[in-house]
Amino acid sequence: ETPLTHIFQDKISSLVIDVVECESSSMNDTSNSNIFAHILTLFSKLTYFDYRSSFWYQSLFEMSTTISSSILLELHVKLYKFTDCLYLLDGRFDSLEKVFLDIYQISTPEIVNNKKELPKLKAFSLYSDQPTFQYNELIVPLLHRLVNLEELDLRLVVHCEKRFVDGYNLKHNIINHLFKLNKFQFNIRSCLYLNDQVHLLSNEDCQHSFNEFKNNKVTSRIDYFQNSKHGQ
């Protein structure tokens, strides 16, 4: 803390921090987590917080410090695993209206089991470039909690068991549950292991599944690789 900190801690409402990696840096996961928690504690008027890092993902669940805010409206942060996402959305930030997450690992969560609706959340973005096998078990139930969501952005890699994530899937599992949704952007690469399926979806079938989407600007493509026994 510095004299400037005391001057501005009750005045700053928006804050963007970009953590840059350098060879001489001694920062680790713990110190990064402490910075994140300390900022939320120190700046009592913060309503917009963007905590960026090109090399590091925030592990909230393993923090020793309990973090919360009753006035934070918009948050951008990279998280290490899906547990951290559930931890973030368990009510400790009960005023959040917009959340933008980049999650490294979307897999079975530890302990946290949130099922409460999040009626204040109006915009939600979820990005992960690592494959997840638990789209139906984790991501879909989370989206169902966002009952008043108006804007949704999904950028995912999904491993599927029986069929790709196509327009029918998105409509049945997401759109039909979010009645106030008026903007839905997505870039989903779904992967499927070929195990003697009787019917394989064609490019035409997949594109047709998006016909009922409003303002349809969806482009889809399917490729099958027989040698490696998978499609995407």
Listed in order, strand segments (DSSP E) in the chain are 14-19, 48-53, 74-81, 98-105, 123-132, 151-160, 183-193, 224-225, 230-231
More confidently predicted of 163 and 24? 163
Kindly state whether residue 159 falls inside one of the protein's structural domains. yes
Domain membership flag for residue 205: no
pLDDT at 188: 92
Whole-prediction pTM: 0.87
| Torsions phi, psi for 124 (to 5 deg) | -145, 130
Residue 187 forms part of a structural domain: yes
Instruction: Give the tokens for residue 48.
Output: 């917009």
With respect to residue 228, please indicate whether it lies within any of the assigned structural domains. Answer: no
Q: What is the pLDDT of residues 104-152, one digit of tens each?
A: 999 887 666 678 899 999 999 999 999 999 999 999 999 999 999 999 9
Sign of CA dihedral 116, 120, 124, 126: negative
**Residue 7: inside a domain, yes or no?**
yes
- What domain range is 182 assigned to? 3-198
In a domain? residue 210: no
Q: How many residues does the chain have?
A: 232
- In the chain, the amino acid numbered 70 is S
Do the domain assignments include residue 203?
no
Per-residue pLDDT at 27 exceeds 60: no
Q: In the chain, how many domains are there?
A: 1
pLDDT in tens, 59-83: 766 665 578 889 999 999 988 889 8
92, part of any domain: yes
CATH number, position 25: 3.80.10
Site of tokens 């969560």: 109
